[in-house]
Structure 1
Amino acid sequence: MFEVDVAGYLARLGVLDEHHPSPHGLRALHRAHVERVAYQTVDIHLGRLTSVDPRASADRIVRLGRGGYCLVLNGAFGALLDALGYRMRRHRGAVLIRRDRPAPALGNHHALTVHDLPSEDNPSGQWLVDVGLGDALHEPLPLVAGEYRQGPFTYDLRPSPTLSDGWRLGHDPAGAFVAMDFLSEPAVPADFAARHIELSSAPNSRFVQVFSAHRRDATGADALRGCVLSRIGTGADAGPRELARREEWFEALGDIFGIGLGDLTDADRERLWRRVRTAHGVWRQGRSPEDVIKPAIRTGLIA
């Protein structure tokens, strides 16, 4: 069983231990996490089913320099907050990608809240904490209904219109998704295990179909979808561009997103690139990713 390497995790984030929970410390940890530990799906596109255990996820961030998607990132961050003494709770959530699609099942997102941490601007002491939403939060939000601005994005936090006891975080129209709902009822890591297997391996999963990476900073967010690199916010003037060469694609993973790939062999890198490039070609042809990805996995064309 892994234990959280608190010193190693804080060193990875470049944050000093304040030795007691504080609003300042929570903000610093959150900012550093979304800036230094990118949201990404490398292991999914290598066909590797990683553990969703929070301590194992934290170990991968420290040891490999690689995080994952929401179930991994918020799981690990929650383990770090707990080890540092924050009153943290986990919650089952669901991310709505498009308004014209049905609401997804609860458990496809791992939400976090922190409690009993009052500040001058948040006397309630309750915070929405989420380092697993890609291009969304740069800092925690007071768990109080209202509109909040961070960099180029405006968020709307309200009671959920679909959950009788829950909250909805509405994303900015420029963002990668519409909203995230989560139940107020606390959850445990085991509540996400089955969904993690499905989201990481099912051919109809959007995580399996298209590679994605996101990194948030104070002035905007970088995104890589398949082979298309884009940015929202400061520095976005150049617009999206296609990374058509293998070398520039891997350079972007390291230089822009800070994704550690030191554990990958040359064969791993080639397999990853071949799969990403195949899915990108499907997208350019306007075909359904499932029509190509599913048979390609079955026949071994891509792993």
Structure 2
Amino acid sequence: MTRSLDVSAYLRRIGLDGLGGPPSVESLVRLHRAHVERVPYEYFHIWLEHPTSVEPLESAGRILSGRGGYCFHLNGAFSLLLAKLGYQVSRHVGGVQGSADGPAGATGNHLALTVSGLPAERCPDGVWFVDVGLGDALHDPLPLVEGVHRQGPFEYRLRPSEAEPGGWRFDHDPRGSFFGMDFRAEAAEMSAFAVEHHELSTSPQSSFRKVMSVQRRDVAGIDCLRGLSLIRIGSEEGTSALSGRRDYFEALADVFGLTLEEVSAERKDELWRRLSDANEKWLTSTVSTASSASSASSASREPEHAGG
């Protein structure tokens, strides 16, 4: 774990070496875009049995080594970077709602961010919803005002939360991997996420332990590696089945920038066996529960984003 954040190294990691000047909307947008494009949403630490914490410096150190993380890691590290760059950033307890039938509200399975003090024409109060940890969702930060927002091929909505009085609700695009997310208005400390992080990482019921998913957002769409299927949504849509170990790890490196260089060949072999077995179980479960094309579509989303 790094003892203090190396801001210059972090900026190099996301391709913004030399970014300077005081906090601004323009720089915040650049930082947000660069982060979601360069640092993937992934949780290989769970599949490799490498315990992690929610400590932002630890998460930043892992990002600097070439890895990604899920929301507690990505937004935790990003909030630390923003604070070091002079932004007024707050962390908030949130909750990802996986489907319309799932529970709404700030259940604690997500860490959301806001940045204040940056008024703009479309954000008169100067408060922005910032989230680099939602995988296939935001490309840019959103002004924290009620309304519909379009980013590339996707449409999102921000509105006051019905489940969290005083809080906010993010409604995802219908093609997204989850239904929506609520977060509380009050700021929270990182310690508020430690218990849920442990549960998501270790519980046999956690979707993170059932199917591996890697996601990366860009201006034109989403790349997602779910199980052994490489999926593109947005520009040039399509799905490719990865038939072997070599194809899988090449896709990780070429599409998501994940080389897993720190993982030995033997551990990669073990990881591949676990991924293959889990994918087979997931496909079998999906086929057995899907009685129609529409229910099959719904089932294909189920393992995504139970939180984090």
Does TM, normalized by the shorter one, top 0.5? yes
Q: Deviations over 1:188-244 (max 9, x none)?
A: 1111111111101111001111101000000000001111110110121xx212112
Residue number in structure 2 paired with 1:241: 240
Q: Does the CA-based 8 Å contact 1:49-1:201 persist in structure 2?
A: no
Q: Is the 8 A contact 1:52 1:196 kept in 2?
A: yes
1:60 aligns with 2:62: yes
Contact 2:36 2:216 in 1 (8 A): yes
Q: Displacement of 1:7 after TM fit?
A: 0.4
In structure 2, relative to structure 1, the CA distance for the partners of 1:281 and 1:267 (3 Å cut) is: same
- Verify the 8 A CA contact 1:2 1:59 in the aligned structure 2: no
Query: Would you say how many aligned residue pairs link Structure 1 and Structure 2?
Result: 285
SS of the counterpart of 2:197?
A: helix
Q: Percent identity?
A: 51
The answer to whether the 8 Å contact 2:105/2:182 transfers is no
The aligned residue for residue 297 of structure 1 is none
Q: Which runs of 5+ in 1 are unaligned?
A: 289-303
Residue in 1 aligned with 2:255? Answer: 256
- 1:156-235 pair list within 5 angstroms: 156-235=157-236
- The amino acid across from 1:210 in the alignment is V
Aligned AA (1:10) = L
Q: Deviations over 1:113-132 (max 9, x none)?
A: 00001123322210000000
Q: Secondary structure at the match of 1:180?
A: strand
State the shift of 1:105 in Å: 5.9
Equivalence for 2:91? 90
Q: Which amino acid aligns with 1:281?
A: E
CA distance in 2, matches of 1:53, 1:147: 33
| 1:283 partner amino acid | W
Counterpart position of 2:80 = 79
> 1:251-302, CA deviations, whole angstroms, 9 ceiling, x for partnerless residues?
11111011241111111211211111111010121279xxxxxxxxxxxxxx
Contact 1:39 1:213 in 2 (8 A): yes
Q: Which residue of 2 aligns with 1:7?
A: 8
- Asked if structure 2 preserves the Cα contact closer than 8 Å seen for 1:112 and 1:128, the reply is yes
SS in 2 for 1:277: helix
Distance 1:76-1:219 versus aligned 2 partners, 3 A rule: same
Q: Specify every segment of 5 or more residues in structure 2 that has no aligned partner in the other structure, as ranges.
A: 288-308
CA contact (8 A) 2:157 2:170 kept: yes
What SS does structure 2 have at the residue aligned with 1:256? helix
1:105–1:267 CA distance, 2 compared to 1 (3 A):
farther
SS of aligned partner of 1:247? helix
8 Å contact from structure 1 (residues 168, 181) kept in 2: yes
Q: Counterpart in 1 of 2:31?
A: 29
SS at match of 1:186: coil
Q: Which residue in the other structure is 1:150 paired with?
A: 151
Specify the code of the residue in structure 2 equivalent to 1:232.
I
Q: Given the superposition, is the C-alpha separation of residues 263 and 210 from structure 1 closer, same or farther in structure 2, using an over 3 Å criterion?
A: same
Deviation of 1:104 after TM superposition, in Å, equals 6.8
The CA distance in 1 between the partners of 2:25 and 2:9, in whole Å, is 22
| TM-score, with structure 2 as normaliser | 0.90
The answer (yes or no) to whether the contact 2:97–2:178 under 8 Å persists in 1 is yes
- State whether residues 105 and 164 of structure 2, in contact with CA within 8 Å, keep that contact through their aligned partners in structure 1: no
Question: What are the Cα deviations for residues 47-89 of structure 1, in whole angstroms up to 9, with x where unaligned?
Answer: 1111210111011111x21011111100010010011110000
RMSD: 1.4
- The superposition leaves residues 11-64 of structure 1 with CA deviations (integer Å, 9 ceiling, x where unpaired) of 0011132231111110000000000000011111111111210111011111x2
CA distance in 1, matches of 2:255, 2:81: 25
